[in-house]
Structure 1
């Protein structure tokens, strides 16, 4: 997870979100009556989205926005990739194996791989890219305990670990593990990433850093011969939810990503618009500052959790596109325990916990990331419901840039935002949200429970199976009682497209695979 929407492979827990598919198919691939037709090459598409403009095309930046991340994976391919179901599939690697002790991973590259300038892409480039990721860390570090990355021969890469690490493939599937040329072709980072040589389906065309518009062009040397089908993709930034929906309705954009719940009904009935709603790893969530202020007191956090009717909140603020949240691991992520004992809605119990709190909770401030109609409504509902137990809530609504300055700095009491996991491996959301020894210090809450930290570490080295599942079940039970965060709802991912768009795959982490997209006449 990481700062995108705020973000933090693939077996899924059974989750109710899967029933929320409104149109299209649950796998995340756009469907229409003519999808059986043969794909045709040519044409250009415009994709509208919210958020900040693209500021960097370095896969390993110090800071990150959602639009940076969702552009990077079009320019740089990875060894493996997550498909529309969140499952791991080979990408630049044609195959991979692991030793019996789990310490050695061997990746075989596809034959005749090239970069967008026609130069060969070999194991030396892969080894360099992974080592660069390890050395720089960046906003989404490669946390695997890698001791060596070796270009064994031109088509083979060997990764050696100090201990088994279950999330390795998941980490190698993210945009931050994109493959770049060795030594960046001898250029400085600034020069190379201003006009990068690509390993993915697209290269960079025009890039207006001030206006937020970037055009990607077809990579004629892409390893999937014949793909991508479209000649170019232009990304534009919408000012708000309403403008985002209007751009696709008017035909100014052929794809609109991140459609707000309030826009779903309107777009379902719009002519020449196809609405794809799929399971995601999204959740709307409250985060508590556990180090200082009123919510450093565990009883105060528990009082808030029990005063909020999450089922009613999800129903009334997401227009039927979400289910009530329970644990910090979304229902669509591996080993989510939807039977975990969580603090349910009870005004009486909330008042008891509030009475046990020693901190001053008379008046508190809720920091809210603005720009979302449903999130604004959620803040108002929270304000109203906490008022019933005697807590006065002052809503401090700030723009994206301010929120992601104040929140990571700990300048808040409790905060409301939308977060999304990068992978379906539970370590991703666990490391970012609840591990006090993790890179974000439990996602800027300061929560630091030694038992949780130890279980998180065990979860990383335990092979998939019953033992690993029990670890994450225990984690969810502990966190649900400590309440460093509070999942309000698990939201579906809604994407609107022109009915002329085919072959779009939406991954549960919010990105889209565009190499298979084509336009009908």
Structure 2
């Protein structure tokens, strides 16, 4: 999933963030805190990584959150930043969702559906029955047709930009001419069939992990009569326990309780707060200062900045209220072959060898930010191999200048060349990372200039448009990604499969299109193995377009007054799972 700085947004998912790890199960959970298991703790460093801390049933009060920029979208079909997927748990429900989001093993459970669905022998048909008594925030009934309509919207890529809708449009057996509900009306029953409160998805290829797709907010029900297309982000109709009651783009979002949501229909969410306020503040250091003084409860989009991080790690009182979750998240730079001279593999390899990964890790925050990555596949995903390092950058990981210069000669650019490095703003760390890249590549004559965009626009339209990447000469693209679900497909499908390239809202930023990579990812009917994962990892690295820099971890801080606190490693890159959080003082 996309990083915001975060990453990641991943930007993360991208980002300072931990994310979806391998080992997710699909069993139910009886835990009343909504995060599975019975373990709980009061407080302590890293206590919330895999436990629910400060357990409480006290209701009321206002949770005060902050972010440095707005979500890519509040429309559940269009959002893809990890922290925004986390925030969607406040307002959006899906047929299946995560009942346990902390730790490294996540649990799927029925949400709007009565169970985890049924499927035919070859996983090409999946059927679900909706629960009785479900209502939207406007009081109207939630129906199976509303779920169908939500998925149909993903086909309208000229209107519904961004988001993980590609997963659905790639496998549902829809007519090739279908362009979404705005232009083509309803999908035929041969694609998605609705009968009363039952919905059946007909797939054109076997997909055993379909329940993981349904846990994404893309399939959250949307009432057709209230759909405003590209403007739906301004006032989405809620199916979850909270509804957006006030929204000023790029300034603030207020969530209040959805009076039509009922606890009896929801075994996943156990909301306590009456209101949740999100303040959008581009001054990241100011957010940290407010966290330190207790004026804010938590930040959502990015981990704390280096200054506050240092204070947390050296002051026991602050450290006791912090967490440093890690998981299969890869920070990387995508190299666009549409931008000369990167159409020459040796020019790309020159960048690989000249890159100073040690400086990048230091800028990100040192050991608390993760560890240096030698290949694309992160820990927790089949195919990860810590001994595989196809482009060694010296014993100290500061780069192999000699090897980089050899590659420059091989690509016909012995004196180097000029290119642009794209990254999102206003993230403080991204700017420092650019300086480190400029210095490292400058040693071999590669001159790098910055190309920036607001974090809210960066992935959707800036680097998410292949034409914009080419036209603006964005040769190097800073990115981060966490697995949408714990398989090689869940990690890599959207970011490296040539078949996933979109004209807008594209997540394959460098338009990577390697036949062997595509073949492995397209084989969704065969269970993933370590061997097939390694083949994918090797094929991707041999193409020299995906330059991994680190496997990310992030440091998050929580106000001591927060109750029922746990890290959302499944969707939020380690940010706290705010849907179930309360406040001890009731204020």
TM-score by shorter chain over 0.5: yes
What is the number of residues matched between the two proteins? 499
Aligned match for 2:430, one of 352, 375, 380 = 375
Say if 2:284 is the partner of 1:241: yes
Aligned match for 2:77, one of 47, 53, 60 = 60
C-alpha deviations, 1:277-313, integer Å up to 9, x for none? 2124544321212123122211121122122242454
Name the SS of the counterpart of 2:484 in structure 1.
coil
Contact kept? 1:284, 1:416, Cα under 8 Å? no
Q: 1:153 and 1:42, CA in 2 relative to 1: closer, same or farther beyond 3 A?
A: same
Name the SS of the counterpart of 1:470 in structure 2.
helix
CA distance in 2, matches of 1:456, 1:55: 27
Contact kept? 2:66, 2:299, Cα under 8 Å? yes
Name the SS of the counterpart of 1:217 in structure 2.
strand
- Kindly report which structure 2 residues correspond to 1:51-450, keeping only aligned pairs within 5 A, or say none: 51=69, 53-54=70-71, 56-61=73-78, 69-82=85-98, 83-84=101-102, 85=104, 87-90=106-109, 91-96=111-116, 97-134=118-155, 138-139=161-162, 140-144=164-168, 145-147=171-173, 148-154=191-197, 156-181=198-223, 183-184=224-225, 188-189=228-229, 194-209=234-249, 211-225=250-264, 227-257=270-300, 258-262=302-306, 263-268=308-313, 269=315, 274-311=321-358, 313-315=360-362, 317-321=364-368, 322-346=370-394, 347=400, 348-359=402-413, 362-369=416-423, 370-388=425-443, 390-396=444-450, 398-400=452-454, 405-407=461-463, 408=465, 409-410=468-469, 411-421=472-482, 423-424=484-485, 425-440=487-502, 443-450=508-515
Moved more, 511-520 or 393-402: 393-402
C-alpha deviations, 1:58-79, integer Å up to 9, x for none? 2234x87677655444211112
Displacement, 1:163? Answer: 1.7
Displacement, 1:397? Answer: 5.3
The answer for the alignment partner of 1:474 in structure 2 is 535
Moved more, 250-259 or 355-364: 355-364
- Kindly report which structure 2 residues correspond to 1:455-470, keeping only aligned pairs within 5 A, or say none: 455-458=520-523, 460-463=524-527, 465-466=528-529, 469-470=530-531
CA distance in 1, matches of 2:437, 2:336: 17
CA distance in 1, matches of 2:526, 2:442: 44
Q: 1:400 and 1:449, CA in 2 relative to 1: closer, same or farther beyond 3 A?
A: same
Contact kept? 2:335, 2:477, Cα under 8 Å? no
Moved more, 251-260 or 504-513: 504-513
Contact kept? 1:49, 1:235, Cα under 8 Å? yes
Contact kept? 2:95, 2:214, Cα under 8 Å? yes
Contact kept? 1:81, 1:173, Cα under 8 Å? yes
Runs of 5+ in structure 2 lacking a partner? 14-18, 25-43, 174-190, 395-399
Moved more, 414-423 or 199-208: 414-423
Displacement, 1:512? Answer: 4.7
Moved more, 214-223 or 266-275: 266-275
Q: 1:86 and 1:77, CA in 2 relative to 1: closer, same or farther beyond 3 A?
A: farther
C-alpha deviations, 1:9-59, integer Å up to 9, x for none? 965289xxxxxx9522433x552xx43xx32100001111122x3575322
Contact kept? 2:95, 2:112, Cα under 8 Å? yes
Q: TM (normalized to structure 1)?
A: 0.85
Say if 2:513 is the partner of 1:452: no
Aligned match for 2:555, one of 494, 511, 519 = 494
The answer for the alignment partner of 1:26 in structure 2 is 49
Contact kept? 2:67, 2:281, Cα under 8 Å? yes
C-alpha deviations, 1:88-133, integer Å up to 9, x for none? 5122223123222111212233343222334332323323323333
Name the SS of the counterpart of 1:229 in structure 2.
coil
Q: 1:142 and 1:353, CA in 2 relative to 1: closer, same or farther beyond 3 A?
A: closer
Displacement, 1:164? Answer: 0.5
Contact kept? 1:300, 1:361, Cα under 8 Å? no
Q: 1:113 and 1:406, CA in 2 relative to 1: closer, same or farther beyond 3 A?
A: closer
Displacement, 1:456? Answer: 2.1
Name the SS of the counterpart of 2:115 in structure 1.
strand
More strand by share: 1
Runs of 5+ in structure 1 lacking a partner? 15-20
Displacement, 1:378? Answer: 2.8
Displacement, 1:323? Answer: 0.6
C-alpha deviations, 1:363-400, integer Å up to 9, x for none? 32342424334333333333333344x22433315342
Contact kept? 2:127, 2:200, Cα under 8 Å? yes
